[in-house]
Amino acid sequence: MLITYRILTILLWPWIFVFSLLIPGAKNFLRNRKEDKRRILSYPFAPKAQKVVWLHASSVGELDQCKALALVYKKKEPETFILQSVFSDSVRDSSLEAFPADLKFRLPLDFPWSYDFILDKFSPQVLVCMAWDRWPNLLQAAKRRRIQTVLASAVITSPKGFVQKKFYKAAFSLFDKILTSHSSGEEKFRELLGDKKVIKTLGDSRFDSVIQKIETSQREFKRPKNYPFSQVFLLASTYEPCEKLLLPLLQEPSLKNTAFWIFPHKTDPSRITQLESEIKSFTSDYTLYSRTEFDSLSSRVILFDVLGILAHAYRAADFAYVGGALHNRVHNVLEPAYFGLPLLSGPRITHAPEAIELNHRGGLFIIRTKEEVLEILQLSSERKEAIRFSNRQFVETGRGAAERIYSEISLSPIPNRGY
């Protein structure tokens, strides 16, 4: 299976080159990686002068997982040189620049020859991927150099069909250790890989990132002074399917004392203009966050058109809808769970074990219709208090996962592969 994958990636290269000439997005994708390669090659680094750890994140959520682990390394081993790579273009340059690593870059495409310039220059002792990310050519290149390979905060969805199962087994077998986020993941990995593989449940380091971000922030977020609505329903990371379901609730008489705070997934001007138009079709009682001093606002609908506020705004809400799962997959549920909010989500949560666990505990509700939403927004105060305690407790159980992952990685010598 790995040989087949290797051959297919080689055959794919000419087509990617053609696409990069025809499609602007593909051209930018490759150009960014070319610029990163030039920057890496020119970076002043003395080979084998210090310990090097390479952390890799697929996207924004996995970057949070890496951040918690990177901070532990900076605390325990300040002399260790940390490489941080990401793959998805959804990771903003500003987020990558602010990351606590010594060198940050975007992962090259997974061809057999893609990583030699990184591995030859930095000779990392450890490569840590997060969640479900596995790049076979990268992992094989690391194994040939006897680099310890770890999948941390690991999750897995059950493979569908014979071919996918064979690929999963071949790819995940390339890791020396798989450190799962939850016990259910450990069971699935053991079923796939057998009992001889080192698989341990140590938790999800994203818990630490969420807790650290909230608890170290100096920002106080409260409702506007004399705010006239008794209940705040916060809509986080919304897409068009989310708004199509939820905005009609603005016309429900039973929710006349419920304010809607909307944080769209994207805040570019065209998206905000479109969303303003949709809100106006249901109510004129709205305002844009950036237009008015927040403490003086009295609008029922507040559309937040700036970044960096969401994690703190949960503090002032009563309920939170977390977007993405009506059409794709759910976004971060840990931040609102930290504040104990009853959570609402679409049904597509299978990739997120923390969302599944919160659902099992009764603190996250799967919604598909506005009638289901109405029922949840009218929960009794006793039920809301029970959920608040349960959700908050769940987040606390994840505290310290990054330290546990660090300790497990540090215990292991570099594997003797016999190459």
Tokens 């379901």, located at residue: 245
- Residue 160 — pLDDT band, cuts 50, 70, 90? confident
pTM: 0.84
The CATH number of the domain where 262 resides is what? 3.40.50.2000
Give Cβ neighbours of residue 171 (< 8 Å, ≥ 6 apart): 2, 134, 136, 139
Are 110 and 135 in contact by the 8 Å Cβ rule? The answer is: yes
Is 25 a domain residue? Answer: no
Distance (Å, rounded) from C-alpha 386 to C-alpha 380? 10
Is 6 a domain residue? Answer: no
On whether both 156 and 281 belong to a single domain, the answer is: no
On whether both 135 and 255 belong to a single domain, the answer is: no
Helix (H, G, I), strand (E, B) or coil at 341: coil
Specify burial of residue 320 (Cβ count, 10 A radius: 0-12, 13-18, 19+): buried
Domains of the chain: total: 2
pLDDT over 70 for what percent of the chain?
A: 97
Is 19 a domain residue? Answer: no
On whether both 164 and 261 belong to a single domain, the answer is: no
On whether both 140 and 249 belong to a single domain, the answer is: no
Is 418 a domain residue? Answer: no
Please indicate whether residue 97 is annotated as part of the active site. Answer: no
Is 24 a domain residue? Answer: no
Distance (Å, rounded) from C-alpha 82 to C-alpha 78? 10
Is 69 a domain residue? Answer: yes
Is 64 a domain residue? Answer: yes
pLDDT tens digit string along 174-208? 999 999 998 888 999 999 999 999 999 999 999 99
Q: Which domain holds residue 170?
A: 39-203+400-411
Distance of CA 91 to the CA centre of its chain: 10
Exactly one of 35, 62, 191, 293 is catalytic; name it.
62
On whether both 199 and 314 belong to a single domain, the answer is: no
User: What 8-state DSSP symbol labels residue 58?
Assistant: S
Q: DSSP alpha helices (H): ranges in 145-247?
A: 161-172, 183-193, 206-215, 240-246
Q: Is the pLDDT of residue 413 over 70?
A: no
On whether both 137 and 271 belong to a single domain, the answer is: no
On whether both 231 and 157 belong to a single domain, the answer is: no
On whether both 356 and 248 belong to a single domain, the answer is: yes
Are 219 and 246 in contact by the 8 Å Cβ rule? The answer is: no
In b/e form, how buried is each residue of 9-45, taking b as 16+ CB within 10 angstroms? beeeeeeeeeebeeeeeeeebbeebeebbeebeeeeb
pLDDT tens digit string along 12-49? 888 887 877 778 888 888 999 999 999 999 999 976 67
pLDDT of residue 387: 98
Is 2 a domain residue? Answer: no
On whether both 147 and 82 belong to a single domain, the answer is: yes
Tokens 């080979």, located at residue: 47
Strands (E), 243-345: 258-264, 286-288, 301-303, 319-322, 343-345
pLDDT of residue 417: 43
To 10 degrees, what angle do helices 161-172 and 2-22 make?
100
pLDDT of residue 412: 62
pLDDT tens digit string along 361-410? 999 999 999 999 999 999 999 999 999 999 999 999 999 999 999 999 99
pLDDT of residue 47: 67
The CATH number of the domain where 107 resides is what? 3.40.50.11720
On whether both 113 and 167 belong to a single domain, the answer is: yes
pLDDT of residue 418: 40
On whether both 260 and 174 belong to a single domain, the answer is: no
Distance (Å, rounded) from C-alpha 303 to C-alpha 306? 9
Segment 223-227 long-range contacts (CB within 8 Å, at least 24 positions apart):
223/316, 224/294, 224/295, 224/296, 224/297, 224/298, 225/295, 225/296, 226/298, 227/259, 227/297, 227/298
Mean pLDDT score across all residues of the chain: 93
pLDDT tens digit string along 265-277? 999 999 999 999 9
Which of 348, 69, 336 lies closest to 181, judged by CA? 69
pLDDT tens digit string along 247-306? 999 999 999 999 999 999 999 999 999 999 999 999 999 999 999 999 999 999 999 999
Distance (Å, rounded) from C-alpha 347 to C-alpha 330? 8
On whether both 199 and 231 belong to a single domain, the answer is: no
In b/e form, how buried is each residue of 281-305, taking b as 16+ CB within 10 angstroms? eeeeebbbbeeeebeebebbbbbbb
pLDDT tens digit string along 208-251? 999 998 998 878 899 999 999 999 999 999 999 999 999 999 99
Are 246 and 370 in contact by the 8 Å Cβ rule? The answer is: yes
